[in-house]
Structure 1
Amino acid sequence: MTRFRTTLAVGAGLALILTGCSDNGGDDTTATSGSATASGTAQSPEYTGALPERPTGGDPVSCTYNPSGDASRDVSAPAATDVPAEGTVGVSLTTSVGPIGLELDRAEAPCTVNSFVSLAEQGYFDDTPCHRLVTSPGLQVLQCGDPSGTGTGGPGYGFDTEYPENLYQPGDAQLRQPVIYPRGTVAMANTGRPGSNGSQFFLVYADSQLPPSYTVFGTVDEAGLAVIEEVAAEGDDGSMAAGGGAPNRGVQIESVAVSG
C-alpha cells in the first residue's frame, strides 16, 4: 500500500494544499453528485481572481463514496442517496485552545457536508490533532481531520471535489490559476488525484491563494478565527518541507457537535 502525505507547497504566489490519503494501488476514488458540473457546451466561469459565484442549491442529490485505503478509525461511509443540497449545518468544534464554530453550506458541496456530518456524528474527529499550520504570506491555514496526525490518514473512502472545481470545464487552464479563498473559508484538502477528498479539511484564517480545486463547504465564525489567529501567532515547527508544520501551540479537537 502506498501512502500519500499531505503536502502544502508555497511559492511563486501559488499555494497548494494536498491531503495525504492511502491508496490501494489501482483503486482510485471517484464520486459524483447532483450539484452543478460544467459539461457539454457550458462555459467555465470568467476568471476574476476570486472564487466563482456559489451555487444556490436545489433538489437532493446522489453521492458516491468509494473505498480508498485503510480507515484511520472504524467508521462507515455515509448514506449516498437523497442527500440534501440546500440549507446549512452548524458545527461546534471544542478544542484544546478554545471553541471554533463552523457553518457548513449544503448548496456549495452537498456530498462533502454529508460526509463531514456523518464522520462527526460517528466521533471520527474527536480527540484528534490539527496537524498542520501554515503562516506564509498568501497561504494562512490550519489543517485538521486526520486522526493519525501524520497527514496521511483518511476515513477509508474517497469522493470527488465539488464547488468551485465542478463549475469549470475539465482540463480548463483556470483550474491551475490561483484565486482568493477568503478568510473564514472551510475547505477540503486532497491529494491532487481524482476522488481523493476524504476527511482532512483546512480553516483559512487570512485570505489565501489557491487554485480552485479545493472544495469549499462552509465558513468559520469570528470567535473561531480569533482562536486560530492566536495559535498562528505562535508559529509552527517548520517540519514540513513543502511549507508549514505542526503548530507550536498544539491544537486538539476534543469533540464535535452538529446542529441543524
Structure 2
Amino acid sequence: MPTNQQRREAAKRKLERQQERRVQRSQRRKQVAVITAVVVVVGVVGVVFAGVSFLGGGGPAPSDAKAPPSSPAAAPTPLNIPTQIAPPPKRPQAFPATVNCAYPSDGKPPARPARPPSTNGVSAQGTVPATLATSAGQIDLTLDKALAPCTVNSFVSLAKQGYFDNTQCHRLTTSPGLQVLQCGDPTGSGSGGPGYQFADEVFPELTYGRGYLAMANGGPDTNGSQFFMIYGGAEALSPNYTVFGTIGPAGLGVLDTIARAGHDGSMDPNPGGGKPNKDVTITKATAR
C-alpha cells in the first residue's frame, strides 16, 4: 500500500503533467493563430498585386503609340500578306499649282534639331523620288506632291536635314486589317517629333492599300515626322491619315521580309503590334 507521502508525490506529478499539457496546447493555439494571420496577409497582398498587375489604361491612338518598356513573347508570323499592289490614290479635286503651308510649333521639344520647311509657293505638281536605306534593305519611295504638297514638302525638308538618319522603325503591325511599319521618330518611342506640326491633307473618299506611304498622327492636324508604310491590308484605318506617296515593288519585298519576322508584341493589345523582331534602322533617307 502506498504511503501518504507517495500519494502526495504522485498527485503532484499528475498536476505538473496536466499543467505542462495546458502550456503546450496554449503554445500550439498561438502558433496556429500566427500562421493563419500570415496566410491571410499573404493572400491579401497577392490579391492586391494581381489587381495592380492586370489593371491598365487605354493606349494612345494607333498612330501615336508608345511602346511599353517590357517585351512580351514574339507575335506569330503573319500568314496572309496581300500581293496585289493598290493603285495610287488620286484626289477627287486637285490642288492649285502652288499652295501655302503652315508648320506651327507643337509646343514640344523636337526629338532631334530640325528647321520647319518653307511655307509659301509650295508646288502641288509632280513627284519626288526618295529612298530609305535601312539595315533590312533599301526601300524605294515616290512622293506625290499632287496628293499632299505640304506633307511632301515637310518630308523632303527633314530628309535633307538628316532628321531620319540612324533612326529605328519602332512599330510593326501584322493583323490582317492593319499591316504597317511605322518609322520617323528619332527617339524610337513613338512620341517624338520635329517640334512642329501641320494640317492633314485627306479626303473622305480616301482608302488604304498595299504600297501606300502615309503620315502617322495623334489626332486631327497633328502631323509631324512619323510615317507608316502599308505592306498589306489596312482596312481598319479610317480616312484620317494623309497619304503622300507610294512604295516600289522592291521596297515592298523588303517590308514583306520584315513583316514575316514578326514583332515582339510589346504594344498588344492596344494600340497593337510591337517592335519588329528584325531590326529596321534607317541609316540614310534621301529625297531628290
In the superposition, the TM-score normalised over structure 1's length comes to: 0.75
Residue 70 of structure 1 aligns with an amino acid whose one-letter code is: P
Match of 2:244 in 1: 217
Which is helix-richer, 1 or 2?
Answer: 2
Deviation sequence 1:15-52 (CA, Å, 0-9, x none): xx32269xxxxxxxxxxxxxxxxxxxxxxxxxxxx997
Q: Does 2:101 match 1:63?
A: yes
Change beyond 3 A, Cα 1:95–1:130: same
Match of 1:189 in 2: 216
Match of 1:201 in 2: 227
For the residues of structure 1 that align with 2:95 and 2:161, how far apart are their CA atoms?
A: 26
Q: Does 2:228 match 1:228?
A: no
For the residues of structure 2 that align with 1:136 and 1:7, how far apart are their CA atoms?
A: 18
Change beyond 3 A, Cα 1:117–1:63: same
| Contact kept in structure 1, 2:103 and 2:197, CA below 8 Å | yes
Match of 2:201 in 1: 162
Question: Number of paired residues?
Answer: 206
Change beyond 3 A, Cα 1:91–1:6: farther
Change beyond 3 A, Cα 1:85–1:6: farther
| Contact kept in structure 1, 2:88 and 2:246, CA below 8 Å | no
| Contact kept in structure 2, 1:190 and 1:214, CA below 8 Å | yes
Deviation sequence 1:33-89 (CA, Å, 0-9, x none): xxxxxxxxxxxxxxxxx9974254432100010101110011100000010001000
For the residues of structure 2 that align with 1:201 and 1:75, how far apart are their CA atoms?
A: 16
| Contact kept in structure 2, 1:58 and 1:107, CA below 8 Å | no
Match of 2:63 in 1: 18
Residue 63 of structure 2 aligns with an amino acid whose one-letter code is: L
Bigger relative contact order, structure 1 or 2 (CA pairs below 8 A, ≥6 apart): 1
SS in 2 for 1:257: strand
Deviation sequence 1:193-213 (CA, Å, 0-9, x none): x32100000000013111000
Q: Return the match for 1:85 from 124, 136, 142.
A: 124
| Contact kept in structure 1, 2:186 and 2:192, CA below 8 Å | yes
Q: Return the match for 2:279 from 239, 250, 254.
A: 250
SS in 2 for 1:224: helix
| Contact kept in structure 2, 1:188 and 1:215, CA below 8 Å | yes
| Contact kept in structure 2, 1:51 and 1:181, CA below 8 Å | no
SS in 1 for 2:97: strand
SS in 2 for 1:158: coil
For the residues of structure 2 that align with 1:206 and 1:250, how far apart are their CA atoms?
A: 19
For the residues of structure 1 that align with 2:212 and 2:127, how far apart are their CA atoms?
A: 14
What is the deviation of 1:7? 4.2
**What residue ranges of structure 2 are gaps of 5+ in the alignment?**
1-57, 67-86
Change beyond 3 A, Cα 1:147–1:104: same
| Contact kept in structure 2, 1:123 and 1:256, CA below 8 Å | yes
For the residues of structure 1 that align with 2:90 and 2:126, how far apart are their CA atoms?
A: 17
SS in 1 for 2:224: coil
Residue 262 of structure 2 aligns with an amino acid whose one-letter code is: G
For the residues of structure 2 that align with 1:258 and 1:53, how far apart are their CA atoms?
A: 22
| Contact kept in structure 2, 1:65 and 1:159, CA below 8 Å | yes
Residue 243 of structure 2 aligns with an amino acid whose one-letter code is: V
For the residues of structure 2 that align with 1:77 and 1:250, how far apart are their CA atoms?
A: 29
For the residues of structure 2 that align with 1:51 and 1:95, how far apart are their CA atoms?
A: 24
**What residue ranges of structure 1 are gaps of 5+ in the alignment?**
9-16, 22-49, 169-173
In the superposition, the TM-score normalised over structure 2's length comes to: 0.68
Match of 1:136 in 2: 175
